Amino acid sequence: MSAENAKASPASWRLDDLHIDVARQRVVRDDGRVLEVAGLSFRLLHYLLGRGTRVVGFDELIDRVWAPAHVGEETVTQRVRLLRQALGDDGRQPRYVRSVRGQGYQLCSEPRAEAPSLDSRSTASSVHRPHASRLAAVALLPMLGVLAWWLWPRSDAPVVSPLSQRAAYYAGIGQQANNERAIALYRQRLQESPDDTDAQLGLSRAYSARLCLYNGSADDAVQAQTLADAVIARQPKTAAAYAALAYAHDCRGEIPAALAGYERAVQLDPAADGSRASAAYLYARQGRIADALAANLAVREPAGVRFLDLQIASNLDLLGYAAAAEARYRRSFQLYPDNVFSNLAWPTFLYGRGRSDEAQTALDQALSRGTEHPGLHLLAAELALLRGDTAAARDAAGRAHALRPHASFPESVAWTAGAEGRPDAAALRERAAALGAGLARGTDPFDGVEAALLHALAGDRDAAGRSLDAAVAAGFRDAGYLRVSPLFADLRDAPAFDAALRCIDEALAAERAAVLASGRLPDDATDATAGR
């Protein structure tokens, strides 16, 4: 969309019975139902709204919605289909968007600008992920936060600055270039008004997203924390400020501080679904699966928390409700072909279930969609190792490392596959000790799993067993991954390995019992299907 059109675009539209809030990327029917329209689907809808009822051709849509990416008409057609599906539209009898054969698409009725509602808040969708040094490893584990997508928490005042509105719009698209546009716009707004709370918190979140999602540096999280702290100093009861602060901590792997921030945000604003989902994500990382599921199910507007299904699916999978988890993963993979986490979650689930051929097929499809994430390449590396193709495994691990140069796990995987430059045993033990020290401070439980791998590479099986014990004690619960991953083949005959798996199974049985006692289960999960 051109800058001229962006400046003229209203903050809110009405289309038939739909209310579209541009800044919040929120689509609501007259009956109050929130529709899940986000990312490229929302961007497409937004562009069509600005064109009224004129026919918009394929070339124009490709140039204004997809650029700078190069796509074909088939991609546009698929995205329109997904938009219709999200809106509940029927292509044969369209109500909102109709096809004009051989030309393009047009809206079925004239959209009109609306004044934003008084309670409109600045929100932007985000993908949450753990600290950059562990992202690539954690991406393989359904229980962890790379699968948790949600809306940004609400700020405490309506957005009044057009710059902040546009920044929130770009931040909500969920792409690196647009996140950088958001940062530039927020900075511009703060030059005009240094104490603008919405701009400060928006910039804080965008800095955190730069680190968490787009290969940023630790300095980004420091700037994000500074901005959030400045708002808290002026407005100590601003829920969105605590949520932004928590996100900055979370991106650095500081789980206790992050969880405290999210919980404080929910305490200040019980309607803060984003913070509630964030807390649920951290509960799961700590092995508190029952608490995680309860928090996810307590989200007040599920349609407003992007990909909540994936987060619930990971909880159900660990609790033993495999059929319900599988249905959710599969549905997300089908509905969101341009989302990397949906693309990652489905093949990862299949892999953890020992269905390696199906996982490879799903991974190939995900990679063909043009998505890039170190977790996809790490999964490719593990599947290659299962086939005995160490050259392919090294290449895939190298791709993951290129995407996250500061991550440690891709190198560990590459060394397992025989890559050159593997440190000697003493250096491997030193690296494992550093991971163990971080784990003792409350970092990601997968640090203990990686430490076990490093000790195994150093030839110290006893130390590897102790690291696994530490990971389980810290909350690591993905026994399925340990059972199938070729990285731990040399440890599977060790008594400590079996003991770790038994501890995980016992812990999950206790979590499942707690869920059943609470009576809080989704409708698609039943006790008859539980069990690992």
pLDDT in tens, 95-147: 999 988 878 899 999 998 876 543 433 333 333 443 433 344 444 443 333 33
CATH of domain 3-114: 1.10.10.10
Among 124, 129, 155, 128, which Cα is nearest to 24's? 124
Residues 6+ apart with CB under 8 A from 2: 64
> For residue 71, which amino acid is it?
V
Task: Tell me the pLDDT band of 152, cut-offs 50, 70 and 90.
Answer: very low
Question: Does residue 16 register a pLDDT over 80?
Answer: yes
pLDDT for residue 119: 40
Over residues 293-313, mean pLDDT: 87
The span from the first CA to the last CA of the chain, in angstroms, equals 50
CB 352 within 8 A of CB 480: yes
Task: Tell me the pLDDT band of 69, cut-offs 50, 70 and 90.
Answer: low
Residues 6+ apart with CB under 8 A from 364: none
Q: 77: which 2 tokens?
A: 């057609």
Residue 37 Cα to chain centre, angstroms: 16
Task: Tell me the pLDDT band of 166, cut-offs 50, 70 and 90.
Answer: confident
CB atoms within 10 A of CB 302: 15
pLDDT for residue 170: 84
Task: Tell me the pLDDT band of 70, cut-offs 50, 70 and 90.
Answer: low
Residues 6+ apart with CB under 8 A from 412: 450, 453, 454, 457
pLDDT in tens, 331-379: 999 988 877 788 999 999 999 999 999 999 999 999 998 777 899 999 9
* Cα 123-198-128 angle, rounded to 5 deg: 45
Sign of the CA dihedral 416, 406, 448, 506? Answer: negative
Task: Tell me the pLDDT band of 157, cut-offs 50, 70 and 90.
Answer: very low
Lowest average pLDDT, out of 129-138, 183-192, 228-237, 401-410, goes to: 129-138
Question: Does residue 195 register a pLDDT over 60?
Answer: yes
CATH of domain 148-320: 1.25.40.10
pLDDT in tens, 411-420: 999 999 999 9
Q: pTM of the full predicted structure?
A: 0.72
Lowest average pLDDT, out of 217-221, 289-293, 496-500, goes to: 217-221
Using CA atoms, how far residue 323 sits from 29, 161, 312, 351, 523, in Å, is: 32, 47, 13, 15, 12
pLDDT for residue 161: 79
pLDDT in tens, 225-279: 999 999 999 999 999 999 999 999 998 888 999 999 999 999 999 989 989 999 9
Lowest average pLDDT, out of 23-37, 46-60, 275-289, 417-431, goes to: 23-37
Among 32, 28, 78, which Cα is nearest to 58's? 78
